[in-house]
């Protein structure tokens, strides 16, 4: 993944978009990019998001710093064990002191990455591998 694209995703909140009966978008802060360039989210208060993902597995993630913006489209896997889940479970425990435990980790395998910046590259597909 391009270092600058990765920096945008690492330094800003992510906005997750899913769709069930209607579109649903939420900001998230419990997030990381894995070593194999997948996107991971700690699901703590994401009830509608999880319902939508269980129904169809489709997700989009958007992030921006200033006018530099990117979107990832992909498929989601919900996991309740392993190192990524453990990472987010600890983060939730440290943050919420047991009041809101992690429900699962969402692992997103990208199928497309798109430039959303308002410039000549807008809507251009780029590589994340």
**Within a domain: 128:** no
**Within a domain: 37:** yes
Domain count, the chain: 1
User: How high is the pLDDT of residue 101?
Assistant: 94
**Within a domain: 126:** no
Domain containing residue 19: 3-117
List the one residue out of 19, 117, 33 whose CA is nearest residue 67.
Answer: 117
Decide if pLDDT at 128 tops 80.
no
User: How high is the pLDDT of residue 29?
Assistant: 92
CB 113 within 8 Å of CB 125: yes
**Strand, coil or helix: 128:** coil
Token pair of 46 as six digits = 């994401």
pLDDT in tens, 30-89: 999 999 999 999 999 999 999 999 999 999 999 999 999 999 999 999 999 999 999 999
CATH number for the domain harbouring residue 20: 2.30.110.10
CB 78 within 8 Å of CB 88: no
**Within a domain: 76:** yes
Q: Please report, for the chain, how many H helices and E strands are present, in that order.
A: 3, 8
Q: What is the pTM for the complete model shown?
A: 0.94
Angle at 41 between CA 37 and CA 46, to 5 degrees: 155
Decide if pLDDT at 129 tops 80.
no
CB 17 within 8 Å of CB 53: no
| Section 1-8 average pLDDT | 90
Decide if pLDDT at 104 tops 80.
yes
**Within a domain: 97:** yes
């Amino acid at each position: 993944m391009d270092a600058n694209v990765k920096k945008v995703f690492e330094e800003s909140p992510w906005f997750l978009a899913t769709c069930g009966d209607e579109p649903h978008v939420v900001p998230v802060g419990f997030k990381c990019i894995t070593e194999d360039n997948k996107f991971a989210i700690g699901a703590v208060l994401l009830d509608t998001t999880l319902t939508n993902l269980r129904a169809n597995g489709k997700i989009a993630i958007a992030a921006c710093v200033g006018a530099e913006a990117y979107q990832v489209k992909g498929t989601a896997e919900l996991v309740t064990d392993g190192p990524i889940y453990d990472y987010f479970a600890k983060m939730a425990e440290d943050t919420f002191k047991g009041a809101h435990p992690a429900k699962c980790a969402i692992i997103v395998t990208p199928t497309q990455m798109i430039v959303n910046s308002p410039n000549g590259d807008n809507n251009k597909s780029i590589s994340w591998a």
